[in-house]
Chain A
Amino acid sequence: MNKLILGRYIPGNSIIHHMDPRAKLISSFYFIGIIFLCNNWQSYLGMFLFTMLVIFLSKVKVGFFIKGVRPLIWLILFTVTLQILFTSGGTVYFHWGIISITEFGLTNGIFIFCRFVLIIFMSTLLTLTTPPLALSDAIESILRPLAVIHFPAHEVSLMLSIALRFVPTLMDETEKIMNAQRARGVDFSEGSLIQKMKAVIPLLIPLFVSSFNRAEELATAMEARGYQGGVGRTKYRVLSWQFTDTLALVCMGVLTLILVYLRA
Chain B
Amino acid sequence: MTTFSVRKLTFSAILIAIGILIPLIMPIKIIIGPASFTLASHVPIFLAMFLSPGVAVLVALGTALGFFLSFPAIIAFRALSHVLFVAIGALILQKKPQIVGSFRRFQVFNIGIGLIHALAELAVVSIFFFQGNMAETTYTQGYFYTVFLLVGVGGWIHSIIDGSIAYYIGERLSHLFEFPVFVAAKKYVPNRPKAH
A interface residues, Cβ below 8 angstroms from B? 4, 6, 28-29, 32-33, 36, 71-72, 75, 78-79, 82-83, 86-89, 104-105, 108, 112, 115-116, 119-120, 123, 126-127, 155-156, 158-160, 162-164, 166-167, 170-171, 174-175, 178, 188-189, 193, 196-197, 199-201, 204-205, 207-209, 211-212, 214-216, 218-219, 222-223, 227-229, 231
Complex CA gap A32/B140 in Å reads 26
Flag if B13 contacts A216 (CB, 8 Å): no
Which A residues touch B61, using CB under 8 A?
156
Q: Known interface pairs A36-B133, A171-B21, A215-B11. Does A160 touch B27 (Cβ–Cβ under 8 Å)?
A: no
**Restricting to B1-55, which residues have a CB under 8 Å from any CB of A?**
1, 3, 5-7, 9-14, 16-18, 20-21, 23-28, 30, 34, 36, 39-40, 43, 47
Flag if B66 contacts A163 (CB, 8 Å): yes
Question: What 0/1 readout, one digit per residue, does chain B (158-178) give for beta carbons within 8 Å of chain A?
Answer: 000100110011001100110
Flag if A174 contacts B10 (CB, 8 Å): no
Select one of B17, B36, B136 contacting A87, CB under 8 A: B136
Flag if B28 contacts A196 (CB, 8 Å): yes
Select one of B12, B24, B137, B173 contacting A171, CB under 8 A: B24
Which A residues touch B25, using CB under 8 A?
71, 171, 174-175, 178
**Restricting to B140-186, which residues have a CB under 8 Å from any CB of A?**
140-141, 161, 164-165, 168-169, 172-173, 176-177
Complex CA gap A196/B141 in Å reads 28
Which A residues touch B11, using CB under 8 A?
212, 215, 219
